[in-house]
């Protein structure tokens, strides 16, 4: 066992006992922990167990000479950068000195050596080693602190996002419930009063339609929330099949005819036939419905253009409105979760539609982009691979 000395650990390697003794005598009392090895192989056996400040290595040894030993030391995990001082009595030619340096040595001392010089050199290595350790420790501390700070910031951000989300989601879920409640109460009152039978059927239908649209809104919000959680947990899978984009767009537009009329949006449709691909039709419908709903919401009372075409070997779907538009600085973030560029006072919404559209496009290896200027309408462009 070697006790740990302040100056650090030194490995001295020489096949001659006398030389080891001499080195020991020179370095003893300097505060180093001296570990001796009588051969290159023995030196290697110590290499992964200690962190040496320097290694004094005799060049001429049987089996593994000093240079070969140094090469193995350089490949070790613990001491690959440890300074090696070659000690030699005879190889006093430049090429041998060069050989020592190639093997990674930092110094080369010829025997008989001057004890003061050897001690001075080792003392410098010891100081360097200590400084290196301190720097490594400081770097690890700084690194740990910055990792912790980043983790804290992320945690704070995600807590804030969660709170924001909960408040938006509850608001969004609550909004349709209030009118729904009122309609139900009105129905009940009519039944209690006995006025239900005599009520105008058109009025009853209107009341029911209002309730129905609130239920629709509720279920759409819940579907969106479920989709977001599926995307976030990576559980969304596509059900691919052949999809004709022109058919899909026509079908959705006809199912939205009433709604389009009620918000005063006339649709101008331009379609190229046989733009098709191997996609998930339900999800592509979802993307188109999101874009169309946004065009009706943010461009109410103005015409909407829908274009289906093949361009550069891609299927393209464009939805262009003449509504409020989107400022340049908001155009990237609106595709992210919960991001909105309008006040909830004027426009209801959770900021999930474009995020979901973006995720669906990602799964299809497609893209979704926006071209817009504030106050000058917006064009959303979906591009899908045709194969
Ligand atoms: P939501 O409409 O529920 O807010 P979306 O993810 O569909 O969620 O849209 C995110 C934001 O992008 C909207 O809040 C709005 O600021 C902006 N946006 C989306 N579509 C349009 C559009 N056609 N015109 C103007 N702004 C739009």
Q: Taking a C-beta distance cutoff of 8 angstroms, is the pair 367, 382 a contact?
A: yes
β 241-244/84-88 pair status: unpaired
Say if ligand 1 is within 6 A of residue 265 CB: no
State the distance from the centre of ligand 1 to the C-alpha of 155, rounded, in angstroms: 27
Amino acid 2: pLDDT: 42
Amino acid 168: pLDDT: 80
Preceding peptide of 104 cis, ω within 30°: no
Amino acid 189: pLDDT: 93
Q: What is the DSSP letter of 267?
A: E
β 276-279/241-244 pair status: antiparallel
Q: Identify the sign of the CA torsion 189, 191, 194, 198.
A: positive
Amino acid 101: pLDDT: 61
Say if ligand 1 is within 6 A of residue 224 CB: no
Which residues does residue 100 pair with via DSSP β-bridges, in sequence order? none
Q: Burial level of 343, CB count in 10 A (0-12/13-18/19+)? A: exposed
Continuous H helices in 194-267: 201-232, 245-255, 257-262
Show the low-confidence residues of the chain (pLDDT under 50).
Answer: 1-3
Query: Which residue has its alpha carbon closest to ligand 1 atom 16?
Result: 341
pTM, two decimals, is 0.61
β 378-385/367-372 pair status: antiparallel
pLDDT digits (tens, 9 = 90+) for 255-291: 999 999 999 999 999 999 889 999 999 999 999 999 9
Computed over every residue of the chain, the mean pLDDT equals 90
Can you state the percent helix, strand and coil of the chain, rounding each to 5?
Answer: 50, 20, 30
pLDDT digits (tens, 9 = 90+) for 74-99: 899 989 889 999 888 765 555 555 56
Query: Which residue has 């039944």 as its token pair?
Result: 191
Query: Which residue has its alpha carbon closest to ligand 1 atom 3?
Result: 349
Amino acid 91: pLDDT: 55
- Residue among 340, 359, 380, 382 to mutate when testing ligand 1 (max atoms within 8 A of CB): 340
Query: Which residue has its alpha carbon closest to ligand 1 atom 20?
Result: 294
State the distance from the centre of ligand 1 to the C-alpha of 349, rounded, in angstroms: 8
- The candidate with the shortest Cα–Cα distance to 327, out of 278, 263, 375, is 375
């Amino acid at each position: 066992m070697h006790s740990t000395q302040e100056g650090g650990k030194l490995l001295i390697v020489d096949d001659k006992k006398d030389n080891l003794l001499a080195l020991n005598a020179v370095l003893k009392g300097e505060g180093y922990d001296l570990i001796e090895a009588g051969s290159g192989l023995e030196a290697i056996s110590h290499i992964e167990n200690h962190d040496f400040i320097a290694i004094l290595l005799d060049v001429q040894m049987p089996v593994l000479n000093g240079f070969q030993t140094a090469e193995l030391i350089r490949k070790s995990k613990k001491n690959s950068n440890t300074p090696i001082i070659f000690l030699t009595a005879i190889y006093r030619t430049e090429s041998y000195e060069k050989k020592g340096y190639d093997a990674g040595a930092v110094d080369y001392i010829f025997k008989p050596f001057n004890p003061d010089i050897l001690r001075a050199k080792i003392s410098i290595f010891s100081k360097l080693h200590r400084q290196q350790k301190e720097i490594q420790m400081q770097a690890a501390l700084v690194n740990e602190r910055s990792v912790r700070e980043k983790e804290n910031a992320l945690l704070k951000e995600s807590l804030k996002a969660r709170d924001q989300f909960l408040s938006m989601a509850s608001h969004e879920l609550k909004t349709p419930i209030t009118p729904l409640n009122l309609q139900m109460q009105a129905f009940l009152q009519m039944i209690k009063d006995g006025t239900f039978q005599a009520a105008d059927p058109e009025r009853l239908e209107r009341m029911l339609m209002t309730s129905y649209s609130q239920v629709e809104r509720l279920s759409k919000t819940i579907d969106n929330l479920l989709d977001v959680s599926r995307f976030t947990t990576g559980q969304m899978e596509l059900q691919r099949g052949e999809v004709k984009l022109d058919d899909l767009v026509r079908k959705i537009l006809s199912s939205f005819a009433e709604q389009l009329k009620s918000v005063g949006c006339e649709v101008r449709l331009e379609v190229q036939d046989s733009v098709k691909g191997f996609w998930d039709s339900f999800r592509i419908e979802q993307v188109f419905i999101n874009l169309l709903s946004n065009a009706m919401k943010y461009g109410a009372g103005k015409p909407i253009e829908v274009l289906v075409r093949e361009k550069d070997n891609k299927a393209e779907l464009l939805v262009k409105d003449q509504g409020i538009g989107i400022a340049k600085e908001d155009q990237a973030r609106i595709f992210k979760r919960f991001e909105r560029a309008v006040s909830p006072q004027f426009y209801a919404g959770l900021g999930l539609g474009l995020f979901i559209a973006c995720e669906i496009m990602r799964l299809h290896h497609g893209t979704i982009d926006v071209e817009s200027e504030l106050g000058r309408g917006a064009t959303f462009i979906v591009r899908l691979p045709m194969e």
